[in-house]
Structure 1
């Protein structure tokens, strides 16, 4: 199996079109189709479903896509290791949920530049569900993900836990100055992320456990948009304190810790050792994420988190 054919296949799946993939690879579309057909012939399975709107991987194609990501990346790293000797180097792809990225991304960039300038940091920011998907597919080396508890899991290092807050005005009925009971949110209009978000799943689960249904008036997969809507007074949102603590008027915005019950979540950094042994660069970045988080928490630069 030719490594070049695997690169071609990854590009086709990513682009969803043989024509677009051919343009990216600077080859003709018939030539690319022939390469994919040759790969399918070698493996004896159909890898792509062709349709009027492009191509999509079959179940076998998805399996190859995931494994091909690892093979191509390892191939590239082997060549890099030979050239660089003992120096820690190379690309490390890190996925961060939006509410984590606000705090961690700038500090992690600075730490990497100071401690391991040979590492090429690749930061991906998105909603937590998509970050989990990218990690599973092997597109990321590390991902910071939310967990329901502080239970230790393979290939994970727990970082911190945090409570969630109601953000927005006007104040719901019976709200105290800094806290509000979950029961009093049953009729509060909320904007929260869509179904692929771990935050949304946690909110739905906590409300359901109390026999309540959250009054969600819009699915908003943007941290900035949720905060701006909350500031408008037309709806509230539910976020960790760190998401709004830097805003000059965050007190006027309305920040109240939810209690009875407290909505708490844990955060862990996860790697993909289930697919391959962590490289030195990946291990260094995982240690860096822990070190940066610990320093920011101890220095008071990450409000609302409790180190695990």
Structure 2
């Protein structure tokens, strides 16, 4: 077993597919398949579960993946030490961003990375928060923005910002205030929210439950744009951070009200794939970029409604 085999194995796990890994490594799929078979034969264990939707590491494969990351990183650092650190930071970095984070962050992050680390190839996966978290746990992502209900420190996480949640839409009967609405006043309001895997859905459900209530959820919608369009139609309301509706016209016409009694707040952090080892240099660089870009956007007023940590 050599360092090249470990790099190949990491690429396969990161890609989640032999064919995608072959494309990243610029080899044929039969070649990368043969390399994985040879590695499994050498170690005497099955490292990958192969299926119609791709490959996933076995428990032994996850152990090898974790340790291989550390070995490859140490090897690369050794090479940098020998060459005086002249080797540029380069390689792919897979990032998972919930839909509410992607629009403000992703374009600015691409610009930041291209200006400072042109050798880094960003791979951005946008989806609802529950699926992004699943991809991170499965080892398909290097970094992900994750939502939390508190700001307690957690391993492998770097806090970014917090944001309050707002009612989007025009409920019936109309609240007394055009700017705020009590959670208790929403007990009969029809709502559309993301599915049960969503952090936002879980936060809303728990807030209602704390008051002995159950939200009137009339549909699960896994699309940010569709949630807003349904709220605009008047068929139902939704609950979202203010930043995602900043470009959708007059907030009073759309009906953007801060939820109070209690205020609903969630916290956002950037999390690496594991806390078992330090991330590789490319991942550290992009993580720093996420922090810097978030701060710059907030300072310039281009990400309304967020409060930096």
Count of matched residue pairs: 302
Q: What SS does structure 2 have at the residue aligned with 1:200?
A: helix
Cα distance in 2 for partners of 1:189, 1:72 equals 53
Deviation, 1:14, is: 3.7
Note if 1:176 corresponds to 2:183.
no
1:202 shift after superposition: 0.9
Q: Which residue in 2 is equivalent to 1:97?
A: 98
Q: Aligned with 1:129: secondary structure?
A: helix
* TM-score normalised over the length of structure 2: 0.80
Which residue of 1 is the match for residue 167 of structure 2? 166
Deviation at 1:60, TM superposition (A): 3.6
CA distance in 2, matches of 1:107, 1:97: 16
Q: Distance in 2 between matches of 1:287 and 1:48?
A: 32
Change (3 A) 1:5 1:145: closer
Inter-partner Cα distance in structure 2 for 1:257 and 1:74: 46
Does structure 2 retain, via aligned residues, the 8 Å contact 1:80–1:90?
A: no
- Mean Cα deviation higher: 95-104 or 171-180: 171-180
CA shift digits 1:285-308 (9 cap, x unpaired): 212111111111111111111111
Aligned to 2:118: 117
Q: Which 10-residue stretch deviates more, 105-114 or 216-225?
A: 105-114
What is the match of residue 260 of structure 1? 261
What's the counterpart of residue 62 of structure 2? 63
Question: Using the alignment, how far apart are the partners of 2:108 and 2:9 within structure 1?
Answer: 36
1:166 positional shift: 0.6
Residue 290 of structure 1: aligned partner: 291
| Structure 1 residues 214-273: Cα deviation after superposition (integer angstroms, max 9, x where no partner) | 111111111111111111110111000001011124431110111111100111112235
Q: CA deviation at 1:122?
A: 1.7
Change (3 A) 1:151 1:223: same
Q: Which moved more, 1:92-101 or 1:130-139?
A: 130-139
Instruction: Name 2:131's counterpart in structure 1.
Output: 130
Aligned to 1:245: 246
Aligned CA distance change for structure 1 residues 77 and 245 (closer, same or farther; 3 Å): farther
Find the aligned partners of 1:250 and 1:109 in 2 and give their Cα distance.
29
Do the aligned partners of residues 34 and 140 (structure 1) sit closer, same or farther apart at CA in structure 2, a change above 3 Å counting? closer
Q: How does 1:1-308 map to 2 (within 5 A)?
A: 1=1, 7=8, 14=16, 26=28, 42-45=42-45, 60=59, 63=62, 67=66, 70=69, 85-272=86-273, 274-308=275-309
C-alpha separation in 2, matches of 1:21 and 1:307: 37
- Checking the alignment, whether the CA contact within 8 Å between 1:5 and 1:35 is kept in structure 2 is no
Q: Check 1:123–1:45 CA distance in 2 against 1; reply closer, same or farther (3 A cut).
A: same
Deviations 1:139-194 (A, max 9, x none): 22221111111222232221111100010124544342111110111111111111
Could you tell me how far 1:121 is from its partner in structure 2?
1.7
Verify the 8 A CA contact 1:95 1:143 in the aligned structure 2: yes
1:58 Cα deviation after fit:
8.5
Cα RMSD of the aligned pairs, angstroms, is: 3.6
Q: Alpha-carbon deviation of 1:57?
A: 5.7
Inter-CA distance 195–73: structure 2 relative to 1 (3 Å threshold): farther
Answer with 219-228 or 67-76: which moved more: 67-76
TM-score (norm 1): 0.80
Moved more, 72-81 or 275-284: 72-81
Distance 1:239 1:214, change over 3 A: same
